[in-house]
Amino acid sequence: MLLEIRLFATFRHRRFKTKQMELPVGFLLGNLLKKLDISIKNVGILLVNGKHSDKETRLIDGDVVAIFPVVGGG
Amino acid sequence: MSGYSGTILRVNLSTSEIKKEELDSKLALKYVGGRGLGTYFIAKEVDPKADALSGANKLIFATGPLTGSKAPTGGRYMVVTKSPLSGTIASSNSGGFFGAELKKAGYDLIIFEGKSEKPCYLSIKDDQVELRDASACWGKKVSQATDLLTEASGDPKSRVAVIGPAGEKLSLIASIMNEKYRAAGRSGVGAVMGSKNLKAVVVRGTGSVESADEEKTKTVIKDILAKIKENPVTSTGLPTYGTAVLVNVINETGIYPTKNFQEAYTPSADQVSGETLAEKYLVKKTACFRCPIACGRRCQIDGVEGEGPEYETLWAYSADCGVYDLPSVIKANNLCNEYGLDTISAGATIACAMELVEKGHIKDDELDGTPLEFGSSEAIIEWTRKMGEGEGLGAKMAQGSYRFAESYGAAELSMSVKKLELPAYDPRGVQGYGLNCATTNRGGCHVRGYLISPEILSLPEGIDRNSIEGKSAWVKAFQDLTGVIDSLGMCLFTSFAIGADEYTSIFNAIVGQDWTTEKLMQAGDRIWNIERQFNLAAGIDPDQDKLPKRILEEAIPEGPSKGQASKLGEILGQYYADRGWTEAGIPTPEKLAELELA
């Protein structure tokens, strides 16, 4: 399946902004983080198609995954 | 009593009489300080139905007991008055160094009364206080006026809070600016200052704010600083990207209002994001008084340095206007700071005007050849300038989006609550935040109960943004705690790292009390209710606890939050009940008695 991965803020350092990735259907979001070398404890917001998700979420073809560190503002 | 200076400065601008009054310590504790204490004096001394731009209104600069103290971020002050924009109570918060300087000069509050015949400013050097002629700086923009007044004070360490041309011309979205870039931005407080012919307050204070228990204060501060350092938001997120880091977060969740809230997602957000700002335009980060966070952004464009844009500004001038050209957004932000305009209301009013053009309400011959369509970089710069100068149609826009849209018979196109423009989140996709916006005492405002924190940022814990379950209790707790923080004189951003217990500890150590957290939170509840009582007496009825028609009646059309609609009608009654109000939204006599407001 083909996914679009979007990284933000400090997660872009030495990685990328946006990338298409080919992964097996049902791939776990937690395993995607490992593949990207992002520690779950540094993750603030995990979105799949704009919906808050967690490391147990299974991904499907066409999903857009957005990964943010812990951030705030206002 | 430590923390407080114990003195109120009362300045009658009609008679030029300046009096120093003793602050009643029981009263100070009852309302904490800052926003709470300022509201008490407005509610007591100003007829809620008074014309906000008349001499009958008063303008209060209020510090809190922690302003100017050793408390981390303890530099905040509040401008409290009746708002000429919304007709509600207004309390507009600012950072920088002005508040701390005022406190070190020995004053908890300045209460301005009446109206000066000629432009004047107040000069304070510790106990020397005098009104001076402001004719040399009247008409000048913020940075030039600040420089002139600093020079005239003879002390480069003086701090200056000033209005720009927008405040002088009584723009209802005018701000008060201190140290050139920090704004008491919202609710048109700058117009109240302008209506009094008061250009500025210049202050130099050489005293200090003592703690009741120095040892305890040290221990509490050490704990708070450690928590700020450990917390990823206050230690990394805000210092690295400033508030602008939210652009991508809010857009990716599909609640980023675009084209005057017609849409809620844009594929172009990264062009105007905090990441891009940091990469291309950031010169350095800046910090306010005793702030370990340093979220301020000093940016440079075409050789001109300025501060910001903050997240809300970036949104108002980019997505809301459909403009994804960061240099133009930075220039528009700089213009707002120079003219003394609230960046949220100014950008949102231009966005509203763009929709009025799109829908055919504004005719070409009204525009003097200046473009006013969504996506125009020229429009956001030129219409900001025209609003600041009060030129042509810009003069009408400078009265805010509600009055502007209403003049075309299309008030529903103003994305405002109680006539104050909504900030940068679509309430349809965040139910608790929507409830907060509908019920805030100053109108469409995010910093009275920032539910975006749990609903979107998962801080301090994540809650389902689309659910209404338990949301009214969350909103009440956030609103009450915010009332406390605003009254203490600390920055709201500390609340990412610390909670009500830590605010109680620092208050107790510095002021010398042994309050429980419940007692501090009850003070927040009291502040909320006295504001509500003022609004009700001013004729702001509970039927104003609502959101714009588009938000209430239409679902989000596209993007990640497609189909989400406001559930305000299902949750408002529960909120009134949680507040101890009647079903009609009126505080009950029992509630007022419990809060000692009867």
Contacts of B350 (CB under 8 A, 6+ apart): B317, B321, B372, B379, B380, B383, B384, B397
Query: What per-residue confidence (pLDDT) applies to B153?
Result: 98
CA distance B465 to chain A (A): 9
Position with higher pLDDT, B236 vs B479: B479
Query: What per-residue confidence (pLDDT) applies to B303?
Result: 86
Taking the C-alpha atoms of residue B354 and residue B361, their distance in angstroms, rounded to an integer, is 10
Q: Which residue of B has its CA nearest to A41?
A: B232
Distance of CA B528 to the CA centre of its chain: 16
> pLDDT of B440-470, one tens digit each?
999 999 999 999 999 999 999 999 999 999 9
Tokens 């464009």 -> residue: B301
The hierarchical CATH code for the domain B7-204 is: 3.60.9.10
Nearest to residue A23, comparing CAs of A45, A46, A4?
A4
Taking the C-alpha atoms of residue B402 and residue B544, their distance in angstroms, rounded to an integer, is 14
Q: Is B588 left (phi over 0), alpha (psi -120 to 50) or beta?
A: beta
What's the whole-number mean pLDDT along residues B489-506?
A: 97
Return mean pLDDT, chain A. 96
Contacts of B31 (CB under 8 A, 6+ apart): B37, B39, B40, B487, B523, B526, B527, B530
Taking the C-alpha atoms of residue B331 and residue B309, their distance in angstroms, rounded to an integer, is 9
Query: What per-residue confidence (pLDDT) applies to A66?
Result: 98
Taking the C-alpha atoms of residue B146 and residue B162, their distance in angstroms, rounded to an integer, is 7
CA distance A71 to chain B (A): 5
Confidence of residue B304 (pLDDT cuts 50, 70, 90): confident
Confidence of residue A74 (pLDDT cuts 50, 70, 90): confident
Element (H, E) at B417: strand B416-417
Tokens 């200090």 -> residue: B208
Is pLDDT at B305 greater than 90 in this prediction? no
Tokens 């042509």 -> residue: B392
Return mean pLDDT, chain B. 97
Level-2 CATH architecture, domain B245-421: Orthogonal Bundle (1.10)
A2-69 maps to CATH 3.10.20.30:
yes
> pLDDT of B27-52, one tens digit each?
999 999 999 999 999 999 999 999 99
Q: Is-contact B4 B33, C-beta < 8 A?
A: yes
φ/ψ of residue B157, rounded to 5:
-85, 0
Nearest to residue B245, comparing CAs of A70, A40, A42, A54?
A70
Is pLDDT at B361 greater than 90 in this prediction? yes
Taking the C-alpha atoms of residue B312 and residue A62, their distance in angstroms, rounded to an integer, is 32
For residues B334, B335, B341, B342, the Cα torsion angle rounded to the nearest 10 degrees is -40
ipTM exceeds 0.90, yes or no: yes
The total of other beta-carbon atoms located within 10 Å of residue B25's CB is 12
Contact B238 A70 (CB under 8 A): no
- Structure tokens given for B8: 């109120």
- 3 state SS for B1-44: CCCCCCEEEEEECCCCEEEEEECCHHHHHHHCCHHHHHHHHHHH
* pLDDT over 90, % of chain B: 98
Assign domain B430-496+516-594 to a CATH class. mainly alpha
What's the whole-number mean pLDDT along residues A13-42?
A: 96
Domain boundaries, chain B: 7-204, 245-421, 430-496+516-594
What's the whole-number mean pLDDT along residues B317-340?
A: 97
Assess B563–A contact: CB distance below 8 Å, yes or no.
no
Contact A74 B492 (CB under 8 A): yes
* pLDDT over 70, % of chain B: 100
Residues in chain B closer than 8 A to A6 (CB atoms): 252
What's the whole-number mean pLDDT along residues A7-36?
A: 96
Q: Is-contact B174 B95, C-beta < 8 A?
A: no
> pLDDT of B306-323, one tens digit each?
998 999 999 999 999 999
Is pLDDT at B6 greater than 90 in this prediction? yes
Assess B252–A contact: CB distance below 8 Å, yes or no.
yes
What's the whole-number mean pLDDT along residues B518-542?
A: 98
Q: Is-contact B170 B195, C-beta < 8 A?
A: yes
- Structure tokens given for B496: 């990412």
Nearest to A45 among B238, B265, B458 (CB): B458
B59-63 vs B7-12, strand pairing mode:
unpaired
Contacts of B420 (CB under 8 A, 6+ apart): B83, B85, B86, B88, B186, B187, B345, B400, B442, B443, B444, B445
Domain boundaries, chain A: 2-69
Of the listed ranges B134-138, B197-201, B275-279, the least confidently predicted one is: B275-279
Confidence of residue A73 (pLDDT cuts 50, 70, 90): confident
> pLDDT of B78-137, one tens digit each?
999 999 999 999 999 999 999 999 999 999 999 999 999 999 999 999 999 999 999 999
Q: Which of B93, B233, B312, B440 to mutate to test the interface with A (most CBs of A within 10 A)?
A: B233
**Residues forming a β-bridge with B305:** B300
A2-7 vs B159-162, strand pairing mode:
unpaired
Could you tell me how many CB contacts below 8 A there are between chain A and chain B?
A: 99
Is pLDDT at B302 greater than 90 in this prediction? no
